[in-house]
């Protein structure tokens, strides 16, 4: 499931830093501390996550612990996916 | 970092001295720096624009200040009448410009309603709506809820997806931008400067529309906290309704406080929080002043910084590839 991080990284690089090759984002870097994702950016990121993995991010889940690094997002998405009912 | 426990006294100012200081500065700014013959401003009936009008009259005299009342269909029924009363009391020339036809023609309501209908398919023109902020001060990511009310009074409430949120805000931003266009028409016609009326809470946290209410030649109260603006309103003898009115956006059809839409805290608390942030007061001391847990005060500081980061671009001039200095003649 490590491609979750790669998909989010690719989305951020393409949309938030306009594909800049100088930009380095480590797995545990805080998007806020790196000034790469602002308040509007987090809402865009939530829509990307919901669309990419067909899940719903609840209001109370809109917290930095779930969204503020590649590693946090991967753990959050994995938790959400494992909580979904298994397809028959 | 600490400067002790902040309190209401932290925001006290000498109103008389402040009025003198702003007036003297304005005389120089308008005449010597901007080379205009007077000043234009929009009057919403709110405390900020009313105080700015009164300050302009103190500085320039009532014959050199021109007021505009610019209601549209979602404006409160009292905003234009209260703005008119302020203009009458100050003795300034003023004009009513209903901006609803211009907004309708440019698509403000149509684009807004299309985005609302993407979230609430039953929404029609006779419904009412507003946006509320959530998340930030509780330590979460800021997000926005849309609240709509049917003509029968039924309320519906949903989190706004980002695309619809951005389109609703973009459409309603037409209101501030059309108002500014009207202000500049009169400023150009009269060779006047345009007064911007943001207070410090709005200015520092980016609660304004770029090239809308954020555009101006001169800003008289951007350094003053809201509590201080109310103090000046009373000192300047403005009508009671102006001195006691709660801050609203006056932009959406349902009643909407500025705290609900953007700041998340009532202005008295937001003033203390922003003052404390600016004076490097420890979160624990702010918490004591607000009567909340230290953790919440930390969230409030984080929320202020998140808003400042997100809205930094609103303050920027257009960026240039390299500095271009305009040589001013000797």
Which ipTM score applies to this complex?
A: 0.84
Both structure tokens of A67: 């969204």
CATH class of A3-82: mainly alpha
Across the interface, whether the CB atoms of B310 and A62 are under 8 A apart is answered: no
pLDDT at B125: 87
Tokens of B190: 């009269």
Q: What pLDDT does B137 receive? A: 65
With both helix axes pointing from N to C terminus, report the angle between A3-16 and A39-53 in degrees, rounded to the nearest 10.
140
Tell me how far apart the alpha carbons of residues B175 and B171 are, in angstroms, rounded to a whole number. Answer: 8
Mean pLDDT, residues A14-21: 89
At B305, phi and psi to the nearest 5? -65, -35
d(CA A15, CA B216): 32
Q: Residue ranges per domain, chain B? A: 8-104+168-315
Chain A residues in contact with B304 by the CB 8 A cut-off are none
Say if residue B261's pLDDT is above 50.
Answer: yes
Q: Tell me how crowded residue B128 is: count the other CB atoms within 10 A of its CB.
A: 17
More confident residue, B81 or B249: B81
pLDDT tier for residue A19 given thresholds of 50, 70 and 90: confident
Look at A39 and B141 and tell me if their CB atoms are within 8 Å. Answer: yes
List chain A domain ranges: 3-82
pLDDT at A88: 46
The pTM of this model reads 0.90
The band of B166, judged by pLDDT with boundaries at 50, 70 and 90, is very high
Q: Return the structure tokens found at B203.
A: 């200015």
Element (H, E) at B237: none
pLDDT the model gives residue A83: 86
Task: Decide if B303 contacts B264 (C-beta within 8 A).
Answer: yes
Higher pLDDT, B45 or B136: B45
- How many angstroms separate the CA of residue B145 from the nearest CA in chain A? 10
Structure confidence at residue B263 (pLDDT): 62
Q: Is A11 on the interface with B (CB under 8 A)?
A: no
The answer to whether residue A87 scores a pLDDT higher than 60 is no
* Higher-scoring residue by pLDDT: B24, B245: B24
Lowest mean pLDDT among B136-145, B150-159, B249-258: B249-258
Does residue A55 register a pLDDT over 90?
Answer: yes
Q: Do B135 and A62 touch (CB under 8 A)?
A: yes
CB atoms within 10 A of CB B98: 14
pLDDT score recorded for residue A1: 46
Q: How confident is the model at residue B65 (pLDDT cuts 50, 70, 90)?
A: very high
Q: Please give the share of chain B, as a percent, with pLDDT higher than 90.
A: 76
Integer Cα distance of B221 and B232 in angstroms: 10
The pLDDT of residue B257 is 73
What's the confidence (pLDDT) of residue A32? 87
Averaged pLDDT, B22-30: 97
- When scoring B119, B132, B133, B140 by the number of chain A Cβ atoms within 10 A, the one with the most, hence best to mutate, is B140
Mean pLDDT of B218-222: 98
Place of tokens 């501390």: A33
CATH of domain B8-104+168-315: 3.40.50.620
**What percent of chain B stands above pLDDT 70?**
96
Question: Contacts of residue B167 in chain A, CB cutoff 8 Å?
Answer: none
**Encoded tokens for B253:** 């059809």
Band (pLDDT 50/70/90 cuts) for residue B136 is: low
Q: Indicate if the pLDDT at residue B40 is higher than 90.
A: yes
Cβ-Cβ contacts under 8 Å for B190 (sequence gap 6 or more):
B37, B38, B40, B66
Give the 3-state secondary structure percentages of chain A, helix then strand then coil, rounded to 5.
55, 0, 45
Residue B48: band (very low, low, confident or very high) from pLDDT cuts 50, 70, 90: very high
- Which residues are bridge partners to B189 per DSSP? none
- Say which residue, B194 or A33, is predicted with more confidence: B194
For an interface test with B, the pick among A43, A45, A60 (most B C-beta atoms closer than 10 Å) comes out as A43
Nearest Cα to B278, choosing from B223, B232, B228, B210? B223
What is the mean pLDDT of the segment spanning B70-92? Answer: 91
For residue B191, the model assigns a pLDDT of 98
- Does residue B250 surpass a pLDDT of 90? no
């Amino acid at each position: 499931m490590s491609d979750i991080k790669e998909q989010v990284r690719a989305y951020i690089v393409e949309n938030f830093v306009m594909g800049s090759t100088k930009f380095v984002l480590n797995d545990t870097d805080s998007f806020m501390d790196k000034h790469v994702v602002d308040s509007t950016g987090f809402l865009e990121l939530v829509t990307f996550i919901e669309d990419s993995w067909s899940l719903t991010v609840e209001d109370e889940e809109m917290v930095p612990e779930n969204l503020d690094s590649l590693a946090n997002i991967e753990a959050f998405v994995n938790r959400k996916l494992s909580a979904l009912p298994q397809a028959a | 970092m600490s400067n002790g426990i902040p309190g209401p006294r932290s925001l006290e100012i000498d109103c008389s001295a402040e009025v003198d200081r702003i007036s003297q500065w304005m005389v120089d700014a308008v005449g010597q720096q901007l080379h205009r013959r007077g000043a234009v401003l929009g009057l919403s009936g709110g405390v900020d624009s009313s105080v700015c009008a009164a300050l302009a009259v103190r500085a320039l005299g009532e014959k050199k200040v021109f007021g505009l009342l610019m209601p549209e269909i979602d404006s409160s029924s009292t905003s234009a009448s209260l703005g008119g009363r302020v203009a009458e009391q100050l003795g300034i020339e003023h004009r009513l410009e209903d901006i609803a036809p211009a907004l309708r023609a440019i698509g403000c309501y149509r684009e807004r309603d299309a985005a609302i209908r993407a979230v609430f398919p039953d929404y029609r023109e006779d419904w009412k709506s507003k946006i509320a902020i959530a998340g930030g001060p509780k330590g979460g990511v800021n997000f926005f809820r849309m609240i709509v009310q049917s003509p029968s009074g039924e309320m519906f409430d949903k989190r706004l997806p980002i695309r619809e949120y951005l389109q609703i805000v973009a459409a309603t931003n037409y209101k501030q931008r059309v108002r500014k266009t009207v202000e500049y028409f009169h400023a150009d016609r009269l060779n006047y400067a345009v007064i911007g009326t943001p207070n410090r809470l709005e200015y520092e946290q980016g609660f304004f529309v770029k090239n809308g209410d954020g555009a101006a030649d001169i800003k008289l109260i951007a350094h003053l906290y809201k509590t201080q603006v109310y103090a000046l309103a009373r000192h300047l003898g403005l009508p009671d309704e102006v001195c006691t009115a709660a801050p609203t956006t006056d932009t959406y059809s349902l009643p909407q406080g500025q705290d609900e839409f953007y700041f998340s805290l009532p202005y008295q608390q937001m003033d203390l929080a922003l003052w404390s942030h600016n004076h490097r007061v420890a979160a624990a001391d702010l918490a004591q002043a607000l009567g909340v847990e230290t953790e919440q005060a930390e969230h409030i500081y984080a929320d202020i910084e998140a808003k400042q980061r997100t809205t930094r671009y609103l303050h920027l001039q257009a960026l240039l590839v390299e500095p271009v200095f305009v040589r001013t003649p000797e």
